[in-house]
Amino acid sequence: MPIISVSLSESLKKFINKLVSKNQYDNKSKLIRDALLRLMSTEDISATLNEYSEFTPIAKNIIGNMIIVAPNEYHVHKKLNRIENVYKDQIVSKNQNFVSPNFITFMIFDGSLQDFQKLVVEINSIEEIKNFRYLIIN
């Protein structure tokens, strides 16, 4: 991935370091990437970006996979199932394993890059998730 330098205020720097040190994110890059994905998924930002041809969303379909580790609790399953239902046409495969006290979900996604980004943001919003990894295959 390309590297970009960014100037931040001292308070933002401390905030980022605090989130990373509390193990809410693996590193600063992942935190910033996730924040940008969330920003990109909002309608206001998407509409603004569409005004500029260089920022036109990529229309190609992608294959992506996701691994989710979360507590094996009813309310967590309910949150995840609600999100999965929205993307049921793009989630082509799902496997779950239960390893007490957690469950591990493996999903394969086949759809637009924008839908994958939205799905990732929604899954990331589930606070109880212990670990979440995703990979775009093509």
Q: Where are the domains of the chain?
A: 9-57, 58-138
Alpha-carbon gap, residue 88 to 115, rounded angstroms? 11
pTM exceeds 0.85: no
Q: Kindly state the tokens that stand for 31.
A: 């935190």
Note the pLDDT tens digit of each residue in 40-67. Answer: 655 555 555 555 545 555 557 899 999 9
* CB-based contacts of 58, cutoff 8 Å, min separation 6: 113, 114
Angle between helices 28-41 and 10-21 (to 10 degrees): 110
Q: Please, what is the Cα angle at 126 between 123 and 130, to 5 degrees?
A: 95
Alpha-carbon gap, residue 61 to 64, rounded angstroms? 10
Alpha-carbon gap, residue 112 to 105, rounded angstroms? 21
Residue-level pLDDT at 76:
95
DSSP string of 68-128, one letter each residue: EEEE--HHHHHHHHHHHHHTTTTEEEEEEEEETTEEEEEEEEEEEHHHHHHHHHHHHT-TT
Note the pLDDT tens digit of each residue in 94-129. Answer: 999 999 899 999 999 999 988 998 999 999 889 899
Alpha-carbon gap, residue 11 to 17, rounded angstroms? 10
CATH number for the domain running over 58-138: 3.30.70.1150
